[in-house]
Structure 1
Amino acid sequence: MLRLDDLTLFTRTAELGSLSAAARELDISPAVASAGLKRLEQQLQVRLILRSTRSLRLTPEGEQFLAHARSALHSLESGRQALAGGKAAISGVLQIAAPSDFGRNVLLPWLDQFQQAHPQLSLRLLLSDHVADLFRQPVDIALRYGEPEDSSLVALPVAAGNRRVVCAAPAYFAHHGQPRQPEELRGHNCLLYMLGGRVHDRWSFVRGGESQALTVSGDRVSDDADVVRRWAVAGQGVVYKSWLDVAADVEAGRLQVALADYRGEATPLNLICAHRDQLSKPVHLLREFLQQRCAELLARVPWA
């Protein structure tokens, strides 16, 4: 029978990329860790990890088994929480991946509030505009804009009504004028971001049931959406951003919305996970909490 501690050791080794790092985290000696990994491989009769003095990588069999090991561990944790019922405070570690701009400027203070309400819960937050691999990275859930490309992932809506808006600093509009229709954006310095190696320079709008899209350009591009927002606040140009990302800047007067009578591209925020058994009580509570906070921002949208 497979041992729970061996499964835990294997998953943490794969996530950390180091057997010694996993041993330190689990508070066991390298020799015990090496024996545990060897024991697991012998029971499965396959090689899971290839190791050298300088590197470590999963074998194809190890890649395949990793998803099953994670699923088993999550299932056991869900069972433990189910036995605990609603009487006990939620606890454990919740690992979250989120986009850079939303994560730094919106999610961080919300997570402070959530953790204050649940002080026994530990959080691990990964911020990046690169899409997290939920099967390989040490992540329980991810918050992402748009629907997942992988249909095998579980997606739960958090802010289905979110959209992009065109905005810039008041000083920029005072100097360059404010566009009254989308075509005028071609005469503005549009600040662009990259995702998956592609520059998002195609901006789309809807008004009166008619859709239109145009290609824009500018002198600044970044693969970090937070950098693009900061450029806009500094008066460097126009951005096409998620309302959730810029709502605080608009309400504080740092950014001003243009083309408010046009509806920007739909940008729903979803909670994504690899398996339904990862939808633990902490995840459900966090989703409900985030839905409420996002609804408060969406109640103040500038579009019709």
Structure 2
Amino acid sequence: MDRFDAMQLFIEISERGSLAAVARARGVAPSTVTLALQQLEARLGVQLFARSTRRLSLSSEGERYREDCLRILADLAESESAVTGQRGALTGRLRISTTNDFGRSRIAPLVHRFLRMHPGVRIELLLSDTVVDLIEERIDVALRFGPLTDSRLTARRIFTSRRVVCAARAYWARHPPPTHPSELARHNCLVLARRGAPQSSWPFRDEAGRTFQVRVSGDRMANDGGVLRAWALEGAGVILKTACDAEADLQAGRLVPVLEPFALPATELHAVHTAGRSPSRRLSAFLDHLEENLTSPEATREAPARAAKGKPPRPATP
């Protein structure tokens, strides 16, 4: 049995949870399936299943190996289809990483729409405001705001979004809004913390377009942007958010922006994936889906005005 056949057999065992069930489905003796699994585990040097009298369950090594097998087998089928010119339905798995707020509000609905168009694809959406290692965590694509710093990765720009300093009306009613960024030192700023390091410097631009940083602090911090936004909506303090995260609250007046004359440098959203190999068809299709359906709040607001003037929409710019 070659490696690909062994992988397929392993997947069948993991799905059925029984060597006997796999043997019946394949029309072979149970001892044949048992021997094949033993040979696979011996070659890998790990135990893929925890045995019980009633059922097999995947070990932690087995869980990881199963994910890799599913991806490898899907890539193999895709490669063979491309070579033979048979571009069939998309299959295989995608692991997608993005931030909490943005993932819930913008990416989860797009994932749902994508899977309705491509039911053969399976997606695992991982939400975290901590930057993950794509290679170590075996992430197919991460949606990240800000510059690309890892040379092992390739980035595809999706859109640019402004950043806003804002708080609830109840907070501004108790604390006079700042007229200059330096006055934030007198306010309770709700700070995002990543890996225990608070983002306690917020960027601004002066009248000459030069960027400067202002130190901020407050009575609380969190590693989840959604938690910070919820606290801000309760009137607890001031937050720094991308407009695409807070747009609904800004439009509804639940959050009120300040310091707009000192417009913060815009930030770019990139779809980031590992470099050195062409993306799979399913990943390319998902990236196209993102680019076609994700727009910044600025572009959404500007498009009707340009259409009314008879001008074609153009991509958002900083």
Q: TM-score, normalised by structure 2?
A: 0.72
Aligned-residue offset at 1:200 = 0.5
Taking only the aligned residue pairs, the percentage that are identical comes to 34
Partner of 2:111: 111
CA distance in 1, matches of 2:260, 2:292: 24
SS of the aligned residue for 1:79 comes to: helix
2:150 matched residue in structure 1: 150
TM-score norm. by structure 1 comes to 0.75
Alignment partner of 1:24 is 2:23: no
Q: Which residue of 2 aligns with 1:211?
A: 211
Q: Is the CA contact (8 Å cut-off) linking 2:163 and 2:267 kept in structure 1?
A: yes
The equivalent residue for 2:284 is 284
For the pair shown, the structure with the greater C-alpha radius of gyration is 2
Aligned residue runs from structure 1 range 66-145, under 5 A:
73=73, 75-80=75-80, 82=82, 88-137=88-137, 139-145=139-145
Which SS does the other structure have where 1:261 is aligned? helix
CA contact (8 A) 2:247 2:297 kept: yes
Task: Indicate yes or no: 2:187 matched with 1:188.
Answer: yes
Structure 1's 130 and 296: CA in aligned 2 closer, same or farther, altered over 3 A?
A: closer
Are residue 259 (structure 1) and residue 272 (structure 2) matched? no
Cα distance in 1 for partners of 2:69, 2:153 equals 17
Deviation at 1:94, TM superposition (A): 2.6
Moved more, 284-293 or 217-226: 284-293
For 2:9 and 2:154, the matched residues in 1 are separated by 26
Number of residues of Structure 1 aligned to a counterpart in Structure 2: 286
Structure 2 Cα separation of the partners of residues 255 and 122 of structure 1: 36
Call closer, same or farther: CA 1:120–1:78 in 2, change over 3 Å. Answer: closer
Unaligned runs of 5+ in 1: 13-21
Contact 1:206 1:262 in 2 (8 A): yes
User: Is the contact between residue 161 and residue 297 of structure 2 (CA under 8 Å) also seen in structure 1?
Assistant: no
When structure 1 is superposed on structure 2, of 127-136 and 273-282 the one drifting more is 273-282
Give the counterpart letter for 1:107 in structure 2: I
- Paired with 1:133 and 1:144, the residues of 2 have a C-alpha distance of 12
Structure 2 runs not aligned, ≥5 long: 21-29, 52-57, 303-316
**Structure 1 residues 292 and 243: alpha-carbon distance in aligned structure 2, compared to 1, 3 A threshold:** farther
Tell me, yes or no, if the aligned pair for 1:9 and 1:23 is still in contact at 8 Å: yes
Residue by residue over 1:12-49, the C-alpha shift from the partner in whole angstroms, topping out at 9 and shown as x without a partner, is: 9xxxxxxxxx9534756399898657645766xx7467
RMSD, aligned CA: 4.0
Q: Counterparts of 1:26 and 1:271 in 2: how far apart (Å)?
A: 36
